[in-house]
Amino acid sequence: MGFCAWRLDHSHSARAQISTRASAVTISKHWRSIGVKHNAPLGKPGAAADIGEATELRGALPPSETDNASTEPAELRPEECALSRALKEWGPWKRWHWYRQTQSHDRSGFWGSRDSEENKRGRLPDEEGVQVPAVWVAELYTPSTVGKLLRGIRDLGWEHGRSGRDSLSKWMNDVREGRQAGWINLGPVSPPSTAHMLIERTAPLPPGVKVALPILISLTPSLTAFVIAFLFDENRATSLEVPLREEFSTSVRRDRSFRLWHVAQYVFTNRTSHFGRSVYNPDILRREAVKSRLQELESDCVKWVRDHLAGVFTSQPGLRSPTAALLVTERARPLSEEAAKITAFDGLAIGRNYDAWESDEWPGAGLAMPHGWDDEGKRLVFACRRRDAFPDSPGYHEPTSNRTIAQRADELIRGLLLRWALTCLLDRYHETLSVLRDRTANDGRYRPIRDLKELRSLARTTLYDIGLCTQEIVEFAESDFRYRYDVLEMSYASEVRGEKPKLLDELRTSQKMRARQIQRDAALLQSTLSISNDLSQTISNMRIQRLVVLLTVVSVGVALWAAFKTVT
């Protein structure tokens, strides 16, 4: 994985393999103190150490300056030698000695000796460049969340544009009632301070965004989609090149769960503790910085949608929204063997020469799907080389500028991003049902009133959304014309079993399978909750009946006692 970690090992062999300059000094002094003779200098590979005879200490230990100035150990009396050996073989002392050796590694400077070489090899070449012209964010609105969309449009003042088009609320009511379908372009949006005659709407945009291109799309009667492209200014678009060209120094990091009392526990009780340390070389640090910078650009855009037009994905904190990023290189073609040779691209998906998708409709670009192990979230990465991003076409001013490339890519990206958003929505529903299933199975308490309220809330919101939307997604995916209409067709770059899989076919198949699984789980969960509620209500009725019988008996007893007192 590109980093080295020290882990706790109580065996003598593990303790003898520590390879740092500081530990070399300590071990050398240790052998001299017990009278072991050195037949070879430290740092010469080839032989092992054996206590009790002439020994050669060899291995990957850096040489120590104190070795040249060493002197013969002073003569010790037999009882002192025995006491010294006993102390060094004492468990707590050995563990403390081993712990001290491991803590001196990051202070020796040994791990950073190759930083200059690695920075020279891993930095982005001067003739190369990577820019982010735009980021897209997709949001979906179900029956339980569409009200937030209407409120957001009203609060932003987007009900009517400058061109005097129809009301957005009226359009959404028409599409959700089945009288109309399709999409409506909201026009360019800019900050109020930079508005001009070509701007349709205004709004405060994220930092570094000079214009946004929003659009509303009716996927199904119950699913309304909002896709917005954020076009960055020059400073934000080139912000990735800062960490790509920066020089990093090797960092040694301690395990985050380490606490000081772990040392005492290990030394005195031999209890395994979190002593692990990881060594991060410049390549790893650069990759982390690049990922963090791209995530920062994406997070600013997602936060804007969450603050103004929250939907299914942005309503819940911590849930990753489906996004797309466009990366433009200057010389290397992304997602190729040429790009794979550039170490600086390792933090970006464009450095892969595998798992790439291409299209005849957009031959100058490729697509990299997100991978969970790379912490890429739900981000689609479209990448192209600047000079062949799009063929020359009349009517475009500065055809190779970031703004022109982003505007031309907008029409190609948003349709595919919406199909990807459906997959993300189904995955979210599956996670929700899994949590509800496990919580229901583990909850053995009987709370009739609270159970009724929770079941009503689930039936009205979550389960209703899941049941309705999954059914409409299945119908949408089964309609080949509707599913492929105005969507970029992409094929796998490499052949699989003699053919290139189609991305839309893969998405349709996986969505239909996941939707049917969700429908089955939702029906089973709803049935289980209903049966559980009926049983809980029956048990409560029985308890009430018993209480009534008990109260009746008590009343009869009180009446008899009162009659007896009256007679007497």
The reported pLDDT for the residue numbered 441 is 65
Q: Which of 218, 484, 246 is nearest to 361 (CA)?
A: 484
Containing 136, the helix (H) or strand (E) segment is: strand 130-141
Q: Which of 350, 395, 412, 379 is nearest to 213 (CA)?
A: 412
Residue 266 φ/ψ region, left for φ over 0, alpha for ψ in the -120 to 50 degree band, beta for the rest? alpha
Q: Which of 236, 179, 242, 171 is nearest to 209 (CA)?
A: 236
Q: State both tokens at 143.
A: 């029956």
Residues with Cβ within 8 Å of residue 535, at least 6 apart in sequence: none
Q: Are strands 209-220 and 223-232 parallel, antiparallel or unpaired?
A: antiparallel
d(CA 103, CA 153) in angstroms, rounded, equals: 58
Q: Is 501 exposed, middle or buried (0-12, 13-18, 19+ CB in 10 A)?
A: middle
The reported pLDDT for the residue numbered 9 is 39
Q: State both tokens at 424.
A: 């993300």
Per DSSP, 460 falls in state I
The reported pLDDT for the residue numbered 451 is 58
The reported pLDDT for the residue numbered 62 is 43
Residues with Cβ within 8 Å of residue 124, at least 6 apart in sequence: 130, 241, 244, 245, 342, 344
d(CA 82, CA 220) in angstroms, rounded, equals: 85
Q: Which of 131, 203, 201, 139 is nearest to 414 (CA)?
A: 139
Q: State both tokens at 149.
A: 């969309």
Contact in structure between 142 and 222 (CB atoms under 8 Å): yes
Q: Which of 28, 193, 18 is nearest to 106 (CA)?
A: 18
Q: Is 211 exposed, middle or buried (0-12, 13-18, 19+ CB in 10 A)?
A: buried
Q: State both tokens at 470.
A: 């999954």
Give the distance, in angstroms, between the CA of residue 215 and the centroid of all CA atoms in the same chain. Answer: 27
Contact in structure between 440 and 253 (CB atoms under 8 Å): no
d(CA 221, CA 19) in angstroms, rounded, equals: 66
Helix, coil or strand: residue 3: strand
Containing 326, the helix (H) or strand (E) segment is: strand 323-329
d(CA 405, CA 386) in angstroms, rounded, equals: 8
Residue type, 206: P
Quote the Cα angle for 12-14-17, to 5°. Answer: 110
The reported pLDDT for the residue numbered 299 is 94
The reported pLDDT for the residue numbered 566 is 85
CA separation, residue 130 to residues 231, 267, 405 (Å): 15, 51, 14
Per-residue pLDDT of the chain (568 residues; tens, 9 = 90+): 444 443 333 333 333 333 333 333 343 343 333 333 333 333 333 333 333 333 333 333 344 444 444 444 555 566 667 777 776 778 888 888 777 776 665 555 667 778 889 999 999 999 999 999 999 999 999 988 988 999 999 999 998 888 766 678 888 878 777 766 688 899 999 998 887 777 889 999 999 999 999 999 998 888 999 999 999 999 999 999 999 999 999 888 777 777 777 778 877 888 777 667 778 899 999 999 999 999 999 999 999 999 999 999 988 777 889 999 999 999 999 999 899 999 999 889 898 878 899 999 999 899 999 987 777 889 999 999 999 999 888 778 788 999 999 999 999 999 999 999 999 999 999 988 888 777 766 665 655 555 556 656 666 678 888 888 999 999 999 999 999 998 999 999 988 888 999 999 999 999 999 999 999 988 887 776 666 666 666 766 777 888 888 888 898 888 888 888 888 7
Tell me the CB-side half-sphere exposure of residue 273, using CA atoms within 13 A. 18
Tell me the CB-side half-sphere exposure of residue 285, using CA atoms within 13 A. 20
Alpha helices in 458-502 (DSSP H): 463-478, 480-484
Query: What are 390-399's pLDDT values in tens digits?
Result: 988 877 878 8
pTM strictly above 0.85: no
The total number of residues shown for the chain amounts to 568
Quote the Cα angle for 327-332-338, to 5°. Answer: 120
Containing 212, the helix (H) or strand (E) segment is: strand 209-220
Residue 118 phi, psi (nearest 5): -70, -35
SS3 annotation, 72-134? CCCCCCHHHHHHHHHHHHCHHHHHHHHHHHHHCCCCCCCCCCCHHHHHHHHCCCCCCCEEEEE
Q: State both tokens at 407.
A: 């505007």
The reported pLDDT for the residue numbered 454 is 63
Where are the extended beta strands (E) located within 409-504?
Answer: 491-492
Quote the Cα angle for 192-198-199, to 5°. Answer: 30
Helix, coil or strand: residue 404: helix
d(CA 139, CA 152) in angstroms, rounded, equals: 13
Residue type, 521: D
d(CA 56, CA 39) in angstroms, rounded, equals: 5
